[in-house]
Amino acid sequence: MNENKTGGTNNTNVINNTNDTNNSNVINSTNDTNKLKRTFTTNVPDKPGSFMLVAKVIKKYNGNIIRVSYNKAIDLRTLFVEVRAYPHELELIENELNILGVLEKSVADTELIVVNIKIKDEPGGLYPVLKILDRYDVNISYLNSNEENGLYQNFKMGLLIENPHIIKMILDDISESYQIDIIDYSGRESALDNTIFYIRLGNKIEKLLDLSPEKTMEFIQESNRIFQMLHNSGEDPDDVFENIERLAEFISRHRGISFSPDVSLIPITENTNLHVIEPPCGSNIYIFEYEDELLFIDSGFSIYSEEMLVLLSHMFPDFEKRRIKMTITHADVDHCGLLSVIENAEIFMNAKSAESLKRQTRQLKDFREEYATCEGYSYLSRIMTGYVPPNADRIKIIGNAPEEHDDLIKIAEFNFGDLDFDVYEGSGGHLSGETVFVVKKHKLVFTGDIYVNHKKLSDERKEFTSIAPYLMKGVDVAPEKAKKMREAVKKLIEETGDKTIVLTGHGPVEYR
């Protein structure tokens, strides 16, 4: 990360004597990263040479004029000059302009911030933005727009804000309804740095993941939700934003021809094979093949739907003609991606997982999003991966479990081909509805995320799986319950016997 988001620019190399104007050319560092930008609002006479006077002072103290804003038709005297210089030089410039009497004292702290606001190309689309600016008494120093695809207008605005402390409030108000990009600002307000950063991050992610403007706005809002939650608990904002960006880059990096999952085959019986797909990001996908039937246990991230369909067509040349069944170990986004994509599949799961997915279709918080620490990450995952929940009418509920319980309990049985499955439901430590599938005769245990093979993860997958625990302060919604469930699953594996094959939510297959 090259942007400072917590406290402005590092000024440790500034000289101590800022009162001696004769030494203004002496500095202890030539590092331009220590320079700041400041907008001076000057009140000069409307006559030749007025601007030259201001420019002479700025040059005297090594300031670089990077922007000037003046509109004689509106104001004959007010001239806005944005200057880049070292902090002590900016103070010297301000002092001398004050002595000359040309600095407008009432707006000495005026900031110029340049933004681009994407507004739907429709009558009155700009009006709400102008109302916000009017409410905060903001002057627009310049304005231009250009059309984008006949759907949006990009309005580039220079905003002159007399009170720098309200910049964040203005941006927050605008970004609630519009996609906004920060083109330039002085960086003097440390509280503003975070706002600027996640807005810029949102626009980067828009290009990285091909998000719509509406989804980009949602991304910014959810990033801010995560930032507020983690920052309030003492996390460094640098780390928060870095992990959000890493998550998006990981997901994006493996799209298209870069999608290279590990694929393996485990013969189970004479008639049944188990195909194991370990994507570079997201949960493992397990597919049983029996004659012309396929059974999926989990289905990965939806952002890889196209890549997965290509892979499946190679693995099963007649894939579209197969009879397909799908189930999940739990209703997290990275396990449910293909449920809405493979339209001819029969979907079945326990009642709690089904309820969580039904809530998603009704735009309600699912069972993970009920927890404040998980809400932002879950929504962010949905946005970044283009997740769409399956139609609730397609889901068949299996099993009969109490609404609340503290144990790993057997709730159902089902058959697929020549295999008999036992279905167990956990207490909800990782997520309500968490499910374990066991084929006792052939010693197969599918643990979902109750138990994960972290030790054997590749370095890259290990790094990826470390992001969610950070952004949610842990992946388990009820850590004590989750600990108990892990022990229960380990016991179930032991009871299944020697040479049990353990198939976890993340990580390679374990052979006991």
CB neighbour class for 47 (10 Å; exposed up to 12, middle 13-18, buried from 19): exposed
Residue tagged 């220079």 (tokens): 158
DSSP string, 380-436: HHHHHHT--PPPGGGEEE-----SS-SS-EEEEEEEETTEEEEEEE--SSSSTT-EE
Give the per-residue pLDDT at 70.
Answer: 59
The rounded percent of the chain whose pLDDT value lies above 90 is 58
Q: How many angstroms separate the CA atoms of 476 and 472, rounded?
A: 9
| Statement: residue 414 has pLDDT above 90 | yes
Q: What H or E segment, with its residue span, contains residue 67?
A: strand 64-69
Among 44-48, 66-70, 289-293, name the one with the lowest average pLDDT: 44-48
In Å, how far are 283, 330, 450, 466 from 481, measured between CA atoms?
22, 15, 10, 21
- 357's CB contacts (< 8 A; 6+ apart) are 331, 336, 339, 366, 389, 390, 392, 395
Domains 21-107 and 256-511 share a fold: no
Radius of gyration over alpha carbons of the chain, in Å? 29
pTM for the structure as a whole: 0.73
* SS3 state at 168: helix
Q: 26 pLDDT band (50/70/90 cuts)?
A: very low
Give the per-residue pLDDT at 111.
Answer: 72
Among 40-54, 120-134, 147-161, 181-195, name the one with the lowest average pLDDT: 181-195
> Mean pLDDT across the stretch 395-415?
96
* 464: its two tokens: 């990826």
Q: Give the E-state strand segments of 104-219 in sequence order.
A: 111-120, 139-148, 152-161, 179-184
| Statement: residue 13 has pLDDT above 50 | no
Give the mean pLDDT of the chain: 86
| Statement: residue 117 has pLDDT above 90 | yes
The rounded percent of the chain whose pLDDT value lies above 70 is 87
Q: 243 pLDDT band (50/70/90 cuts)?
A: very high
Q: How many angstroms separate the CA atoms of 208 and 253, rounded?
A: 9
In terms of pLDDT, which residue wins out, 441 or 198?
441
Among 203-212, 304-313, 385-394, 462-471, name the one with the lowest average pLDDT: 203-212
Residue tagged 């309600």 (tokens): 364
| Statement: residue 245 has pLDDT above 60 | yes
Judge whether 357 and 328 are in contact, CB under 8 Å: no
Buried b (16+ CB within 10 A) or exposed e, 101-110: ebbbeebbbb
| Statement: residue 10 has pLDDT above 60 | no
Give the per-residue pLDDT at 78.
Answer: 67
Give the per-residue pLDDT at 44.
Answer: 67
- Which amino acid, residue 395? I
Give the per-residue pLDDT at 76.
Answer: 47
Q: How many angstroms separate the CA atoms of 36 and 47, rounded?
A: 30
| Residue 280 DSSP class | S
Q: How many angstroms separate the CA atoms of 425 and 399, rounded?
A: 9
Torsion of CA 284, 290, 293, 296, to 10 degrees: -10
* 391: its two tokens: 């139609």
Q: 412 pLDDT band (50/70/90 cuts)?
A: very high
Task: Specify which residues 303 forms β-bridges with.
Answer: none
* 259: its two tokens: 């999608």
Closest CA to 446 of 485, 507, 510, 502: 502
For the chain, first and last CA: distance in Å? 43
Give the per-residue pLDDT at 42.
Answer: 77
Q: What's CA 486's distance to the chain center, in Å?
A: 29
Q: How many angstroms separate the CA atoms of 210 and 473, rounded?
A: 28
The CATH superfamily label for domain 256-511 reads Ribonuclease Z/Hydroxyacylglutathione hydrolase-like (3.60.15.10)
Q: What is the pLDDT of residues 85-105, one digit of tens each?
A: 998 999 999 888 888 877 765
| Statement: residue 9 has pLDDT above 60 | no
Give the per-residue pLDDT at 28.
Answer: 36
| Residue 438 DSSP class | E
How many other C-beta atoms lie within 10 A of the C-beta of residue 57? Answer: 23
* 293: its two tokens: 């039937």
> Mean pLDDT across the stretch 39-55?
75
Judge whether 302 and 387 are in contact, CB under 8 Å: yes
Give the per-residue pLDDT at 177.
Answer: 85
* SS3 state at 66: strand
Q: 82 pLDDT band (50/70/90 cuts)?
A: confident
Among 36-50, 129-143, 376-390, 490-504, name the one with the lowest average pLDDT: 36-50
Among 45-49, 59-63, 139-143, name the one with the lowest average pLDDT: 45-49
The CATH superfamily label for domain 111-253 reads ACT domain (3.30.70.260)
Domain ranges of the chain: 21-107, 111-253, 256-511
| Statement: residue 409 has pLDDT above 80 | yes
In terms of pLDDT, which residue wins out, 162 or 13?
162
Q: What is the pLDDT of residues 357-393, one digit of tens each?
A: 999 999 999 999 999 999 999 999 999 999 999 999 9
Q: How many angstroms separate the CA atoms of 322 and 115, rounded?
A: 53
Confirm or reject CATH 3.40.50.300 for domain 21-107, answering yes or no.
Answer: no
Give the per-residue pLDDT at 484.
Answer: 98
What are phi and psi for residue 406, nearest 5 degrees?
-110, 5
Closest CA to 62 of 43, 34, 41: 34
